[in-house]
Structure 1
Amino acid sequence: MKKYEQIVEDIEAYIHDNELAQGTRLSSVESYAAHYQVSKSTIIKAMDILEKKGAIFQQRGSGVFVRRQRRKGYVSLLTNRGFTEELKDFAVTTQLLKLELMKPTEEVMLNLKLSGEDEVYYVERLRDIDGNRLCIEASYFPKKIVTYLNSEIAEGSIFNYLTEGLKLNISFADIYLHVDTLNEEQGEKLQLHAGAPALFVEQVVYLGTGEPFDYSKLTYHYQHSKFFVQAINF
């Protein structure tokens, strides 16, 4: 983990563990630089990331302040951190339905910029929150980047495995949303009837190099899923 990433984690944990209120002023850039024995530019980079994540806001000439904490149980639509991290205060469980190495379909090749000669890991999982069905998650990972996956990894946090085990630098994502109704198979998996409404999300996640490495489709239970977006720079 890079130093600025560790600083981001430390400050997030400090805000969360101390339940800091909206508007609480944090230490100055100079103080953090001295504490971590890093350059001011490293601290500024960490602060910019925290601001984009909605943890803080910065006022030129005044300092850095805590932003209002999000409501409990809401999933950010603009995060790449995975459910385990997003909902760490809840009992999030995973049921692995399928894990296989396969050739990509045309749709997968288009989204992951692959050829027919490439292989992808296909992972299908059910995610529950506090005993309630949250979503169906179907993901494709190119084997040339995600070189190995097994059931133990897929039943846990794939995000942690990618960032800590494979040391991948996850950078940004394209996210597409639409509302539709469930077919019979989807309804059975979400414990709903066919024709029930659902939020369908497609996302393509990229490395810092701009290379796509994760194409996922998520189908959310309309009664058990809540979302938020924190906007900046209006």
Structure 2
Amino acid sequence: MHEAKYLKVARIVQNRIKDGTYKTQTPLPDQEALAKELGVSRLTVKKALDGLERKGLVYKQSGLGTFVLGDIPIKESNDAAANGFFGLQEELGRDHISSEVLHFTIDFPDENIQKNLRIKNNEPVYNILRLRRYDKKPFILEHTYMPVKLVPNLDYVILNDSIYEYLHKQLKLKFSVAYRKIKAAKADQWDQEFLKAKKDDLILELEQIIWLSNGQPIEYSTSRNRFNERNYVVLETKSF
């Protein structure tokens, strides 16, 4: 699969920030100018800049444009935006992320899954457990439930690549809302086996429900990583 246009635009802008072409605390060219230069739509540029803002590279000033933020002293390489709608491959690069499917079945949902996905007990769900590796090292243990009626023909080929890319590009589904809860937990047997965590290690767990634009929940999932492998951050901008 080819890299999405907005990711290419984001990479170009990020490289220009890195090499000093776009300097700290200065405005970027406006979206129309960037779109014309790079041969893409203004919407593609906006999506690229939105992603860079979540990464903490730029910030937007209402009526003034988008500015280069510059270095954030407390920022670390394993920081991830807590308010993003993208998968790991988009966030960290297709060449760096691989998936190992540990469990994949179609089940009838228990009461908790029924409540979280707003489905009945006779509506089957995919029950998916994947180990996501970053540069071939264990990174995230991801347990996902999705209604079969909303995600037809999900298979191992897709699971070993990108579920979100299949949802967005093939099924043309659009996310609208995500509720995320981040908490600390003790390492369980799965964490010890697949994430190589020690018995007393702390685990960071991201629990989330994602809704489609029509208000139907499409995903309930938990993502677990060792405490020192990944942080979740939010960049908030406000003009006072």
Band the TM-score falls in, shorter-chain normalisation: 0.7 to 0.9
From 158, 178, 182, give the equivalent of 2:183: 178
Q: 1:207 to 1:22 in 2, by over 3 A?
A: farther
Letter in 2 for 1:127: R
Q: Which residue of 1 aligns with 2:78?
A: 73
Q: C-alpha separation between the residues in 2 aligned to 1:156 and 1:55?
A: 28
From 118, 131, 134, give the equivalent of 1:129: 134
Partner of 1:135: helix, strand, or coil? strand
Q: Which residue of 2 aligns with 1:56?
A: 58
5+ long unaligned stretches in structure 1 = none
CA-to-aligned-CA distance 1:70-115 (integer Å, 9 cap, x gap): 6533222221201111111862221110111111111111111111
Q: Contact 1:77–1:229 (CA<8 Å) still a contact in 2?
A: yes
From 6, 13, 16, give the equivalent of 2:14: 16
Q: C-alpha separation between the residues in 1 aligned to 2:13 and 2:31?
A: 16
Q: 1:103 to 1:9 in 2, by over 3 A?
A: same
Q: C-alpha separation between the residues in 1 aligned to 2:76 and 2:198?
A: 29
- Please state if 1:227 is matched with 2:225: no
Q: Which residue of 2 aligns with 1:143?
A: 148
Partner of 1:227: helix, strand, or coil? strand
Q: C-alpha separation between the residues in 1 aligned to 2:154 and 2:64?
A: 47
Of 132-141 and 55-64, the range deviating more from structure 2: 55-64
Q: Contact 1:122–1:140 (CA<8 Å) still a contact in 2?
A: yes
Displacement, 1:34?
A: 6.9
Displacement, 1:187?
A: 1.6
- Please state if 1:167 is matched with 2:204: no
Aligned length: 227
CA-to-aligned-CA distance 1:207-232 (integer Å, 9 cap, x gap): 12222101111111123223332122
Q: 1:28 to 1:80 in 2, by over 3 A?
A: closer
Q: Which residue of 2 aligns with 1:101?
A: 106
Displacement, 1:188?
A: 1.6
CA RMSD of aligned residues (A): 3.0
Of 189-198 and 201-210, the range deviating more from structure 2: 189-198
Letter in 2 for 1:59: Q
Q: Contact 1:136–1:218 (CA<8 Å) still a contact in 2?
A: yes
Displacement, 1:171?
A: 2.3
From 202, 211, 218, give the equivalent of 1:197: 202
Q: Contact 1:29–1:43 (CA<8 Å) still a contact in 2?
A: no
Q: Contact 1:184–1:193 (CA<8 Å) still a contact in 2?
A: no
Partner of 2:121: helix, strand, or coil? coil
Of 24-33 and 94-103, the range deviating more from structure 2: 24-33
5+ long unaligned stretches in structure 2 = none
Displacement, 1:233?
A: 2.6
Q: C-alpha separation between the residues in 2 aligned to 1:130 and 1:52?
A: 25
Letter in 1 for 2:11: A
Q: Contact 2:34–2:45 (CA<8 Å) still a contact in 1?
A: no
Q: C-alpha separation between the residues in 1 aligned to 2:134 and 2:32?
A: 41
Percent identity for Structure 1 against Structure 2:
23
Q: 1:196 to 1:28 in 2, by over 3 A?
A: closer
Q: 1:202 to 1:136 in 2, by over 3 A?
A: same
Q: Contact 2:10–2:49 (CA<8 Å) still a contact in 1?
A: no
